[in-house]
Structure 1
Amino acid sequence: MESTQPTLKPLHAILRLSLAFACLKVLIQVLGNILAQHAGYGIFRDELYYLVCGRHLAFGYVDQPPLVALQARISETLFGHEHLWSLRLLSALAGGAKVFLTGILAWALGGDRRAAALAMLGVLVTGVYLGIDGILSMNSLDPVFWMLCALALIRIVQSQSSAQVRNWWIVFGVSAGLAFQNKDSVAFYLIAMLVAILFTPTRRILASRWFAVSVLLIVAIAMPNFLWQVAHHFPTLEWLHNVQVSGKNVDLPPLAFIKAQLIMLNPLTALLWISGVAWLLFGRQAGQFRFLGVFYLVFLPFMILLHAKDYYLAPAYPVFFAAGAVAWLSWAAARANSRLRLGAIAAYAVLLITGFFVFVPFSIPVLPPQQFLAYERVVHFAPGDTENHAASPLPQFYADMFGWQQMADEIARVYNSLPAADKARAGIFCNNYGEAGAVDILGAKHHLPQAISGHQNFYFWGPRGYTGDVLLVVQRSRSDLDQEFASVTDMAHVENPYAMPYEHVHIYLCRGLRKPLATVWPAVKNWH
């Protein structure tokens, strides 16, 4: 039986509705960050690193493409880093774009204003999106690029003229190319999407010469980062290998991985997005969009086999929220008792809104730490972490927002206590980019010198001319310092009860490195 193709509704009303939902999303993220800072949470570990990278703009970094560093540079230039809401405003705006595009995707799949509203509400209350849009990172932009790719493919399938095909293939190429400059995981998205298209009648769209043009656009936009990788001997591949063999990340078995998808998206939204996957796979009106359902059947096991972190799939889900909303409203409209069914959908929307208030403390740190821990006990739920580490009171995502200013202040106290002759030649060596970022970003008000470290891209920035004659070393224990230096003095201990355990560190004053720092620098490389 031939599928019945949906008729598109007028776009202008959905545009206004989508813009309203997008503004609401930005407002939620901004207010969330204001409340988080008031509750005592500070800058996130990775944000410190991105800000430092933003001060060293390049076409690539050991562990990321360049776009997040540019985002950090723009944020710091415009707003500084003192206020979390403004530091993270670009991510909040990306979240708004995600919600806006969800409404447009619902329209493109044949939905009306009610379908668009339900889809956007689902994305608005989804836990993982509230989390990733609440900090400065590449993860907030990733869904925007993936959604533009999905929208472009939908519109290519629907196109009635060669000009439309051309324009949407160009949108696809630019979006995918920018996605490569944001996060390399888009490669897996594109591979899974290509496989899905090839296994459905939609493969006819690949015969267009504009598909080839789109591929060329992707290559051209992604090329600067690729050339940086070549020039630096593909450090990202080395880093990925090190992460894989180190056991750093939690490796979930298939059923646990699927369960993690339900939890990260907010369990209450499962009815919506799972309906979307089912509708794309089996719905009569979804015939021309079947490739999107097949894509999920390819992408999910693909990421499980690659031992990906559970949230790596997050950018793919908004299109399924949109499809689910279209399916639900179609179900309601096709029956005589449509009012009753619309009432059920309205009740579900109320449930989603109620669930938002229940689950939001697990995505946005609006509760002070002690209140959050008490709330965990009340609701009998504690979010899992994606990395293996010693037990910490708070989830890692929250714990990594504590202790950095305290650490920078204590390092500054020790540094400024040194004799003038020692200060002039003393370097500050840190074992990871969070600590080094705290020195560079939060220690600037104390006039600390730039930190040196072998972690991630700090390794490429080198020893900055320090010889190792006088070094302040920030690490958990003396370890091998007594063998490497002529003298080692424990100057201070930094410990925040809510920070990660490995950030309970000592500050050692080390003198007389037995070999020149430039000579031993290759041995400090720490890519994991």
Structure 2
Amino acid sequence: MVERRPFAWLPAGVVAAGVTALLLITAGGYGYHRDELYFRMLGQHPQWGYVDQPPFTPLMARAGIELFGDTVWAMRVPAAILLGLVALVAAAIAREVGGGAVAQALAASGAFSAVPLSGAHVTSTADADLLVWLGVIFFVIRALLHESPRAWLGAGVVTGLGLYNKYLVVLLLLCIGASILLVGPRKALLSPWLWAGLGLALLIGLPNLIYQVANDFPQAKMAEAVAENKGDDSRTLLLPLQLVLLAVPPVWIAGIVTLLRDRKLRQIRALAVAYPLMVVLVFVIAGQPYYTMGLLYGLFAIGAVPTERWLSGHLTRQIVAGSAIVALTGFGVVTALPLAPPKTFAGLNETIADQVAWPEYVRQVADVYESLPPDDQRRAVLFTGNYGEAGALDRYGKGLPEVYSGQNELHHFGPPPDDKTVAVVVFQAPPTVLGGRCEARAALHNSEGVENEELEAKVYVCRLAEPWHTLWPRVQHYD
């Protein structure tokens, strides 16, 4: 039996408070990420689900706006708090497997890695998902290692709530379940508490699941589109990126080795087996490389315990390890947060590139609109190829016509009125899908000199040959 030591509130709390404070201090830096601009639009239309995601992250972004104002800083406050909670749950996992204050603080410090910081800075769906996965892992460890079967109910509650953010937690359950079947303890699968936990998860997540059924499983269509558009790149990068998702990879590697070798942890060695299963599963479904992040962080928290033992009483090791941790986490901080001009690390961290120049782009679109004759202006709408462009025009386009897009959930917000026969269009390629006569009037550019996909876009003026209600089904697309 593994002895649980006291929770190290002071060091773990300092780390958690530090990561949240750092995110809040830097939250106003750079600008909106394209996804944040999309979430801002979705949050204005609350519902049980959207075609490309459950409702939690858009509504979380709206909560920040309602509480603190319609600013980029306000949107990012909830995500900063979530990452602080992630650090505390990671420390709690380290405690469950016998970690003391050093192990718990080290586990919490994983939140300072580049990928978690970057995700929390730009309010991504990964923020809450990371908390959900660690919460499930925490309760699984309680149920299996400490023979507390009622903990399966906790895992069920966390899973059910997690379904309102992303469905990826189902991958975690599948991999843990398959691993228990492979290496045990198999009797756990017969526990009525486990099945009660699964029932709770379904019950809590039922409204969002009903939305999927009622709308012909749009999330499945979205997953197919992502796999088709990004699948090859995702598979190529899957293995290399595993080494950079969290700072100090030897710690999570130590977690896997310890789970497989330490007899005291035999009851939860399925977590070590679950990781390679997860990698294979993500490869098969052509998922994004970061899909393994939650499980990897759980292994990092477990690996903090043997790391603590390895460091104990060895000053040289402590100095070397401490220096490495500071250097790697420091690198994560400067590459994830707005501490340098955006051009410095935009090539290394694509989330930076997607935060640049949205007001500039809107001004360039506005210039095209304002160049139209008054009669054309009265008959004009804005139409974009992607939700980032639509969200930017919605946020910054004061005095401009209403904006529409065919991408993902925004397709449901249309079509425009049929009497709007002129469209100012922002597209990456000639908008042949609209038919009619389209003339390129401007090419988007930014003064920061940052390369992002908007530099491929042009602003067109299109005079439509058929009404919007007949065009609208053709413009729908998932990305």
In the alignment, which of 315, 320, 330 is matched to residue 299 of structure 2?
A: 320
Matched, 1:360 2:356: no
Corresponding residue of 1:104:
92
Structure 1 distance, partners of 2:385, 2:290, is 27
In the alignment, which of 298, 305, 323 is matched to residue 350 of structure 1?
A: 323
Cα separation, partners in 2 of 1:304 and 1:431, compared to 1, 3 Å: same
In the alignment, which of 137, 141, 151 is matched to residue 124 of structure 2?
A: 137
Q: Which amino acid aligns with 1:175?
A: V
Q: Which amino acid aligns with 1:480?
A: T
Cα separation, partners in 2 of 1:463 and 1:499, compared to 1, 3 Å: farther
Cα separation, partners in 2 of 1:493 and 1:300, compared to 1, 3 Å: closer
Q: Which amino acid aligns with 1:208?
A: S
Matched, 1:516 2:475: no
* Unpaired runs of at least 5, structure 1: 333-337, 374-381, 384-394
> Contact 1:92/1:134 (CA < 8 Å) preserved in 2?
yes
Structure 2 distance, partners of 1:247, 1:329, is 39
Structure 2 distance, partners of 1:246, 1:370, is 26
Corresponding residue of 2:38:
49
Matched, 1:93 2:81: yes
In the alignment, which of 233, 240, 250 is matched to residue 250 of structure 1?
A: 233
Greater alpha carbon shift after TM alignment, 452-461 vs 403-412: 403-412
- Please state whether the residue corresponding to 2:461 is helix, strand or coil: strand
Corresponding residue of 2:48:
59
In the alignment, which of 10, 25, 33 is matched to residue 16 of structure 1?
A: 10
Matched, 1:398 2:352: yes
Corresponding residue of 1:303:
282
Q: Which amino acid aligns with 1:24?
A: G
1:370-409 to 2 correspondences below 5 Å: 370-372=343-345, 383=348, 395-409=349-363
Greater alpha carbon shift after TM alignment, 415-424 vs 318-327: 415-424
> Contact 2:345/2:352 (CA < 8 Å) preserved in 1?
no
Matched, 1:149 2:109: no
Report Cα offsets for 1:337-389 as digits up to 9, x if no partner: x522x65135302321123223433222421134447xxxxxxxx63xxxxxx
> Contact 2:89/2:134 (CA < 8 Å) preserved in 1?
yes
Q: Which amino acid aligns with 2:19?
A: K
Structure 2 distance, partners of 1:502, 1:210, is 51
Corresponding residue of 1:7:
3
In the alignment, which of 242, 249, 263 is matched to residue 284 of structure 1?
A: 263
Aligned residues: 477
Q: Which amino acid aligns with 1:435?
A: E
In the alignment, which of 62, 76, 82 is matched to residue 65 of structure 2?
A: 76
Corresponding residue of 1:339:
313
Corresponding residue of 1:462:
414
Cα separation, partners in 2 of 1:323 and 1:462, compared to 1, 3 Å: same
> Contact 1:249/1:309 (CA < 8 Å) preserved in 2?
no
Structure 2 distance, partners of 1:224, 1:45, is 28
> Contact 1:403/1:499 (CA < 8 Å) preserved in 2?
no
Report Cα offsets for 1:249-288 as digits up to 9, x if no partner: 61434xx53221112323xx11111001110111133222
> Contact 1:173/1:217 (CA < 8 Å) preserved in 2?
yes
Give the drift of 1:322. Answer: 1.8
- Please state whether the residue corresponding to 1:510 is helix, strand or coil: strand
Give the drift of 1:417. Answer: 4.9
In the alignment, which of 255, 263, 273 is matched to residue 244 of structure 2?
A: 263
Structure 2 distance, partners of 1:68, 1:189, is 20
Cα separation, partners in 2 of 1:246 and 1:288, compared to 1, 3 Å: closer
Structure 1 distance, partners of 2:189, 2:129, is 24
* Unpaired runs of at least 5, structure 2: none
Give the drift of 1:318. Answer: 2.1
Give the drift of 1:93. Answer: 1.0
Give the drift of 1:465. Answer: 2.4
> Contact 1:400/1:499 (CA < 8 Å) preserved in 2?
no
Report Cα offsets for 1:94-146 as digits up to 9, x if no partner: 1111111111111111111122122223x033221121121112111111111
1:107-256 to 2 correspondences below 5 Å: 107-121=95-109, 123-159=110-146, 165-166=149-150, 168-247=151-230, 250-253=233-236
In the alignment, which of 442, 445, 457 is matched to residue 495 of structure 1?
A: 445
Cα separation, partners in 2 of 1:477 and 1:259, compared to 1, 3 Å: closer
Q: Which amino acid aligns with 1:250?
A: D
> Contact 2:440/2:461 (CA < 8 Å) preserved in 1?
yes
Matched, 1:433 2:387: yes
Corresponding residue of 2:399:
447
Q: Which amino acid aligns with 2:407?
A: H
Structure 2 distance, partners of 1:406, 1:142, is 32
Report Cα offsets for 1:44-92 as digits up to 9, x if no partner: 01111111011111111121111111112112212234343x3211111
- Please state whether the residue corresponding to 1:339 is helix, strand or coil: coil
> Contact 2:416/2:468 (CA < 8 Å) preserved in 1?
no
Structure 1 distance, partners of 2:319, 2:4, is 23
> Contact 2:246/2:297 (CA < 8 Å) preserved in 1?
no
With the length of structure 1 as denominator, give the TM-score of the two structures. 0.84
> Contact 1:427/1:466 (CA < 8 Å) preserved in 2?
no
Percent of matched pairs sharing the same residue = 29
Q: Which amino acid aligns with 1:165?
A: P
Structure 1 distance, partners of 2:130, 2:406, is 31
Structure 2 distance, partners of 1:285, 1:102, is 20
Structure 1 distance, partners of 2:112, 2:71, is 28
Q: Which amino acid aligns with 1:442?
A: Y
Q: Which amino acid aligns with 1:241?
A: E
Structure 1 distance, partners of 2:324, 2:121, is 23
Give the drift of 1:213. Answer: 1.7
Report Cα offsets for 1:219-249 as digits up to 9, x if no partner: 1222222221222222222222223233566
> Contact 1:280/1:293 (CA < 8 Å) preserved in 2?
yes
Structure 2 distance, partners of 1:478, 1:320, is 48
> Contact 2:382/2:401 (CA < 8 Å) preserved in 1?
yes
> Contact 1:489/1:510 (CA < 8 Å) preserved in 2?
yes
For the aligned residue pairs, the C-alpha RMSD in angstroms reads 2.4
> Contact 1:492/1:508 (CA < 8 Å) preserved in 2?
yes
Corresponding residue of 1:472:
424
Structure 2 distance, partners of 1:249, 1:426, is 39
Structure 2 distance, partners of 1:239, 1:328, is 41
Corresponding residue of 1:386:
none
Q: Which amino acid aligns with 1:109?
A: V
